[in-house]
Amino acid sequence: MEFNRKRDSDSMKFKRRDVKMQKREYSEGPLTRQKQASSTTPAGCMCKPLKIFTSNVRGIKLIKNRVDKLNKLAALNPDILFIQELRLNHIEQIKEAQQLWKIGKSVISIGSDLADGVGILFNTYNLEIIKRRDIIPGRLLVLDCNLKGQKLRLINVYTSSDRSKKIQLFRKLPELLCSGHDIILAGDFNTVTEENDREASTHFKLSKEGKILKEICDEFEMKDSFRVMYPDSFGFTRYDNKTKTRIDRIYVSKQANLNDYKTVTPGSEE
């Protein structure tokens, strides 16, 4: 994906759009939820496109899962990887995860709830992290950085299933989207914003939190990467009994050029 600057670029490569596991129970599960990936490049910039992925990893607390999942994700060689639902609860586990991620820098934020934990990982050590902010520890992490000649603001979102907590998190986004940097907003939003984001036996009605997220992204001209590339497709990332939803997403600044978007399964040929 490229940023046609005026401002910069971004790109993703994971199952393009978000990555959701098939089940949401709180036992650590395999990387069954497809990863969303996109590719971007800044306009007026000689930079290479960036591969950007997002994935809900469904827990890396157990050492076996930590090794297996991080190795599979590293094999995708993402320029930027957003991960959610780490379920880590102390600093030693963070250090162990960072040691396992051998291809570049990593920043991890944990919280107090069982499912908390988000991370932003890179495939290089050659970048400058200007500022880090744990807006909601384990749920909302912001990094300002210089990567491949681009000034970027990276925002990793992992919302709770609780509506009030979800809305509280979304209400914090506007101030974060006011930036001179090009922005990549990605993660597990646990929310749909339009009818073809969902397939279920019940009639679709836009929720309050879905309306808030849509209004914020419209106001700040953040592009839903999947919808730009596939305006009429479904692209579900979570499958739960009879309901299918597209709740994992990658949004980018309006000046970004989206080159590609796909969903991949770590450890497979796809």
- Res 19 pLDDT > 80: no
Residues annotated within a binding site: 56, 85, 188, 190
Residues annotated within a binding site for Mg(2+): 56, 85, 188, 190
Strand order in the sheet with 80-84: 2-3, 256-264, 35-41, 50-56, 80-84, 118-122, 106-109
Alpha-carbon distances of 2 from 16, 83, 127, 201, 221, rounded to whole Å: 15, 22, 18, 39, 16
pLDDT tens-place string over residues 147-203: 999 999 999 999 999 999 999 999 999 999 999 999 999 999 998 878 778 766 677
pLDDT tens-place string over residues 220-265: 999 999 999 988 877 777 777 788 888 899 999 999 999 988 887 6
Percent of residues, the chain, with pLDDT higher than 90: 63
End-to-end CA separation in angstroms for the chain: 19
Burial class (CB in 10 A: 0-12, 13-18, 19+), 172: middle
Mean per-residue pLDDT for 15-39?
A: 46
Q: How far apart are CA 149 and CA 175, in angstroms?
A: 25
Q: How far apart are CA 223 and CA 203, in angstroms?
A: 26
| Residue ranges per structural domain of the chain | 2-264
Identify whether the C-beta of residue 87 lies closer than 8 Å to the C-beta of residue 53. no
CATH: 3.60.10.10, 3.30.830.10, 3.40.50.920, 2.60.120.20. Which one for 2-264?
Answer: 3.60.10.10
pLDDT on residue 16: 34
What is the pLDDT confidence band of residue 45, given thresholds at 50, 70 and 90?
Answer: low
pLDDT tens-place string over residues 55-104: 999 999 999 999 999 999 999 999 999 999 999 999 999 999 999 999 99
Whole-prediction pTM: 0.84
pLDDT on residue 192: 85
Nearest by Cα to 195 from 234, 251, 240, 146: 234
